[in-house]
Amino acid sequence: MESNVSIPSVNYNPFTVVGSCNLCTRELNNDELIFTIIKCVNFAAIKHKDQRRLDEEETPYINHPIGVANILIQEGQIHDPVTIVAALLHDTVEDTATTFEEIENEFGTEVCNIVREVTDDKSLAKQERKKLQIKNAPKKSYKAKLVTLADKLYNLRDLQRAIPVGWSQDRVKEYFKWSKAVIDGCRKTNFSLERQLDLIFAERISQERYHCACKKPLMS
């Protein structure tokens, strides 16, 4: 995660009340809401256009951020536009050439700050980044925790559906373990999302037990 530098907006900022603290958000009317959401999906689609998910079908990458936003709305009952816009943008800086300045200029300070909170510092080694996600999870804001929970829920479901090309069973197992540690740092944020994640972890444990050679009963 990069330092939390606040850069003044120079462009259209749908959420901020101009002239105030630059952090307070206001409610958007229907026209502004649809304008902002479509602008945001279009922005993310352009940024991720050359990327694919790691499954065999090479699903377009944009399915992921759209799916994360959809999980927040359908399963998390989250209708806050700042959180939804941040979810749609959450991987743009980490995985494409997008900068925080662009996000701030196009979608405002609060959205940008959430994206910052969920963006790994790619200058660090992968293992270090993974450790930091666990360490930083409890310190995240409520909205960043929501995005984190929905992101992990999407990725774990994806992993249940199809193992990424080139991944060993050990790597899958490790990913589940690591995800649980990150999620445990985001507890008491959204009951429904956490319940869905717990169901996945329970399912995973029973699968691992089933395939384990010892065949010990689960409740021993």
Residues annotated as catalytic (active site), given as ranges? 94-95
- The minimum distance between CB 95 and Mn ion, in angstroms, equals 8
Decide: helix, strand or coil at residue 15: coil
Q: How many helices (H) and strands (E) does the chain have?
A: 10, 0
State how far the Cα of 1 lies from the Cα of 166, in Å rounded to an integer. Answer: 28
Residue 91 sits in the site that holds Mn ion (CB under 5 A): yes
58: phi then psi, degrees, rounded to nearest 5: 50, 55
170, two tokens: 């050990």
Query: For residues 16 and 148, which CB has a smaller minimum distance to Mn ion in the complex?
Result: 148
- With CB under 5 A as the contact rule, the residue among 106, 151, 158, 194 that binds Mn ion is 151
Residue 117 sits in the site that holds Mn ion (CB under 5 A): no
* Residue closest to Mn ion, measured at CB: 151
- The minimum distance between CB 158 and Mn ion, in angstroms, equals 10
Nearest to 119 by CA among 91, 160, 82, 79: 91
Residue 120 sits in the site that holds Mn ion (CB under 5 A): no
Q: Which stretch binds Mn ion (CB under 5 A): 105-113, 140-148, 149-157, 192-200?
A: 149-157
State how far the Cα of 148 lies from the Cα of 209, in Å rounded to an integer. Answer: 28
Binding site for Mn ion (CB under 5 A): 91, 151
